[in-house]
Copies of this chain bind each other. A is one copy, B any other.
């Protein structure tokens, strides 16, 4: 089951026939109380479907933590039951399931829904875009959340930021990358906008489910793969199947997860439970980055000291070349429809200011600390 769960959860863009049969049972109506009592006395039983295996480290533990918090804060008036990928609906049907009310909530990544609107990708990860701190600030204080609300309202959904992994690693490679030429013909598992960037530079982005990455690397059916960061990567044993571990994760600098709520379910909640759900999403958003930061710190030590992993930096000219193409790719997404254009304009303006400020604050501080 574990292998199937991981396959289900994390093969972005791969929705195999096998997965289509994973839909779980459709449970009964979720409001257990009658209409004759006030909303404040009602008990709400919500389903939360996710794109992750149940309790998958970091990504899957976040919605569990959210559910526990909400149940406790509401004194049991709003009970949230979490379903792993494939338990109720397959990993990549979370969006649809929440939209149509099969579940009241979902936890996933917005970039999985680029088929609905390419603009969704701006709410997860933009190559050379915002990092975790900046994404959270853009969403909550820079106008991003309002744009996300507007986009998702068209799909009968209310979104919330649902955690961040921080900047990811560039990935595991069995070929040294010394110039842009080395990307030509590179078969690499890399989803989303990052994959499109690789393609423009002559590489072959391929879709491989998470659970098959180790074998794909080991047998040479792929030359490289990105995954998340030291914590999740070590758990998959990728260091045993690849020679080099490259940084930095230019393609996903602050990958942000999402909670979605069915709009009718949301509107039916009394104000106190709405406030509880919103605060719990924020606490969860914070907690995921807290957890990834601590676990990645520790896992990097193990990878280097216990497993002898060689960590290499992508050369500057490779990064510069990727950056140039990434801006073109993002601009093309922005041009694909008016709402994508509006969202990217807001994102880009924020990114320009954030880059200028962080150059003299966070970035300069990291530099100073090395001295």
Contact = CB atoms under 8 A, between A and B. Distances in A.
Interface of A: 40, 69, 72-75, 128, 131-134, 136-142, 166-167, 169, 229-230, 247-250, 253, 270-272, 275-276, 278-280, 282-283, 285-287, 289-291, 293-298, 300-301, 311, 313-314, 316, 319-320, 323, 350, 353-371
B167 A361 contact: yes
Contacts of A354: 293, 297
Nearest to A299: B357
Contacts of A287: 140, 282
Given A229-B361, A297-B350, A275 B369 contact: no
Contact of A300 (B298, B301, B356, B367): B356
Contacts of A357: 230, 293, 296-297, 300
A368 B282 contact: no
Contacts of A282: 279, 282-283, 286-287
Say whether chain A's binding surface is mostly helix, strand, loop, or mixed. Answer: helix
Each complex incorporates copies of this chain amounting to 2
B248 A365 contact: yes
A348 to B, nearest CB: 13
A336 B49 CA distance: 51
A110 B72 CA distance: 29
B40 A365 contact: no
Of all A-B residue pairs in the complex, the 3 with the closest CB atoms, nearest first, are: A137-B293, A141-B294, A363-B366
B166 A361 contact: yes
12 contacts: A69-B279, A75-B272, A133-B166, A133-B289, A136-B290, A137-B289, A140-B287, A141-B295, A250-B365, A355-B370, A358-B366, A363-B367
Nearest to A358: B366
Contact of A356 (B69, B136, B297, B313): B297
